[in-house]
């Protein structure tokens, strides 16, 4: 008989961790560490931090049984934590310290890797801090990027090297997503997240991914065409009940046409083609958001004709090798419109007559020019009864005795005029500019609360 071999003691099992993505009332990530026979748990509203300079909140919750670490599925409505749970990552961890006021670990997962420490800041609230450097080539997400601007110009003579997109008749928006939370800003940095609660769905879609998207917020009519008039009405709402009601009856969509940042990669210095390829790979498409088409193998004249046939505002042409230039209008992006629109600032109004008695007959309009606030005519059509009431409520508190315009207006233009401080911005559609610099046949399109009066100038 051979010699008996000495028995081997089995190596102690490595403690495990799991991170579950939890789409409940508010999206969060449940971070669970196996310890003393249970899963000690924290809820991370923004997930694990990758940047050691930014700590994330970690809310200490009740311990869970070890079996729960493999759970994914739907918790029924009415039960605690109702919503959808998926396993975001799992693995094992090295324990360096476990004290009442400090838990220090090294994670070994497929997505979650590195040294972290959790520490309390209150009874339930803790913070989680990454102790290792950020991953290689990681860049923190910029807190603010000014949108690249578009120049009004004719179509390029040669289509080679250009990409063509439809021009969507809406409101330009920069959308920042971090840890499932969405922040949307207009061109002049007014927040749109409360105004358009539909945008929160973008955070649900991206989950733990961090991104900056450039695009347009639009409202579509029954034929699928953007309706600026409907959108303009929603722009300046402030009552939560009315905002929620219209979000259901006349929802907006966010059309993303550029990707500027994604998961630690800053795309600002990349070409339009590279940014667009990354956006397409993201498969950014949902109930209230999508990625509109970009064409590189079509003639600009055909694209403009199609836009006109579909009743769209026009076409935007972008140089395929162009880098993103925040806040600049450098001619690398060009817009060609099928109809004329102009942002305007209201400098006064004339009293209404007949059926318009008690309201206004027309609004006196101006733009900023080198010589000052310049009169460009008046508009008296395109208003609903609700528009007239709303505008008067906005204009009356801005009343002033003298004209705000640099020109001396004629008696016919100022008859029964009520002048106001030029602060309210709107938009009109018109036929053409007259020789003396006025709008011909303007019609009101709606308020532009996303624009400041200072930035309104005559479009080329």
Residue 205: φ, ψ to 5°: -70, -45
Pairing verdict, β 289-290 and 360-369: unpaired
Quick count: other Cβ atoms within 10 Å of Cβ 257? 20
What angle in degrees, to the nearest 10, is found between the helix axes of 240-249 and 228-235?
160
Within 8 A by CB and 6+ apart from 360, the residues are: 349, 350, 351, 352, 388, 391, 392, 418
Quick count: other Cβ atoms within 10 Å of Cβ 24? 15
Q: Which residues pair with 73 in a beta bridge?
A: 85
Tell me if residue 299 is catalytic: no
Q: Choose the catalytic residue: 3, 113, 167, 281.
A: 167
Q: Which residues pair with 252 in a beta bridge?
A: none
Residue 302: φ, ψ to 5°: -70, -40
What are the catalytic residues? Answer: 167
């Amino acid at each position: 008989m051979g010699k008996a071999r000495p028995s081997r003691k089995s190596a102690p099992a490595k403690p495990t961790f799991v991170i579950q993505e939890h789409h409940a009332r508010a999206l969060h990530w449940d971070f669970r560490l196996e310890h003393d026979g249970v899963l000690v748990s924290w809820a991370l509203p923004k997930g694990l931090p990758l940047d050691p300079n930014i700590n994330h909140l970690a809310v200490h919750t009740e311990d869970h049984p070890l079996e729960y670490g493999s759970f994914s599925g739907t918790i029924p409505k009415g039960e605690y934590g109702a919503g959808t749970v998926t396993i975001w990552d799992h693995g094992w961890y090295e324990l360096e310290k476990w004290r009442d006021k400090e838990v220090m670990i090294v994670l070994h997962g497929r997505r979650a890797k590195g040294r972290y420490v959790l520490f309390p800041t209150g009874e339930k609230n803790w913070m989680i801090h990454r102790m290792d450097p950020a991953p290689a080539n990681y860049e923190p997400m910029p807190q603010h990027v000014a949108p690249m601007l578009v120049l009004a110009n004719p179509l390029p003579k040669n289509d080679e090297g250009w990409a063509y997109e439809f021009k969507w008749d809406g409101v330009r928006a920069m959308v920042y997503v971090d840890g499932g939370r969405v922040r949307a800003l207009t061109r002049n940095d007014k927040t749109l997240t409360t105004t358009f609660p539909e945008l929160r769905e973008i955070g649900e879609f991206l989950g733990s991914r961090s991104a900056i998207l450039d695009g347009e917020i639009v409202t579509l009519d029954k034929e699928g065409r953007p309706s600026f008039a409907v959108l303009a009405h929603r722009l300046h709402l402030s009552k939560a009940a009315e905002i929620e009601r219209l979000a259901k009856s006349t929802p907006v969509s966010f059309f993303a046409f550029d990707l500027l940042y994604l998961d630690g990669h800053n795309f600002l210095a990349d070409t339009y083609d590279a940014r667009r390829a990354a956006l397409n790979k993201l498969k950014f498409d949902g109930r209230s958001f999508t990625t509109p088409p970009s064409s590189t193998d079509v003639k600009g004249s055909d694209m403009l004709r199609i836009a006109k046939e579909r009743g769209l505002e026009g076409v935007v042409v972008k140089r395929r090798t162009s880098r993103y230039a925040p806040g600049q209008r450098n001619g690398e992006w060009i817009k060609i419109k099928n109809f004329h629109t102009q942002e305007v600032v209201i400098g006064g109004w004339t009293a209404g007559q007949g059926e318009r008695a008690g309201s206004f007959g027309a609004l006196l309009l101006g733009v900023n020019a080198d010589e000052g606030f310049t009169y460009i005519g008046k508009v008296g059509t395109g208003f609903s009864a609700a528009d007239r009431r709303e505008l008067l409520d906005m204009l009356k508190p801005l009343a002033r005795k003298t004209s705000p315009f640099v020109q001396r207006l004629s008696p016919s233009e100022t008859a029964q005029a009520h002048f106001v401080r030029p602060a309210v911005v709107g938009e009109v559609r018109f036929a053409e500019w007259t020789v003396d610099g006025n709008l011909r046949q303007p019609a009101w399109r709606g308020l532009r609360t996303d624009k400041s009066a200072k930035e309104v100038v005559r479009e080329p």
